[in-house]
Amino acid sequence: MNNFPTKWFICDRCEGEGKVAHEAFSNGITSSEWNDSDQWDDESKETYMRGGYDVSCPQCKGLGREKLPDREQMTPQQIRRLDRVEAVESIRAAQRAEDERTRRMESGGYYQ
């Protein structure tokens, strides 16, 4: 989104922390998993609780902030152009998500 005035915003995915939970934990951990010493020893639990398995935020690349278009500094023409760019990006993101769902269903890895 070049050619638009920008300003820094706190990343809304990691809320400024620069890191997020690893995808492996996206569904959480059940109490039976947590209490099973074969799966979670005390050291692993401690590492988990202090964020030791977290990964760099993919949205802000670990910065905790993002440089985004600043609508307050834009002309009406720039705002209309940005709205068109964002609409196209939204459609493409929805198409990618649908493609991913289809791939998972076809591979047997999708459960609802």
**Residue 10 CB partners (closer than 8 Å, separation 6+):** 16, 64, 65
Same domain, 59 and 83: no
Higher-scoring residue by pLDDT: 41, 15: 15
Would 1 be classed as within a structural domain? Answer: no
Q: 104 with 50: CB under 8 angstroms? A: no
Q: Are residues 11 and 63 in the same domain?
A: yes
Looking at beta carbons, which pairs linking 71-77 to residues 24 or more positions away fall under 8 Å?
73/5, 73/7, 74/4, 74/5
Residues 17 and 54 in one domain: yes
The predicted-structure confidence for 26-70, as pLDDT tens digits, reads as follows 777 888 888 877 778 888 888 888 888 899 999 999 999 999 999
Q: Do 56 and 94 sit in the same domain of this protein?
A: no
State the pTM of this model. Answer: 0.61
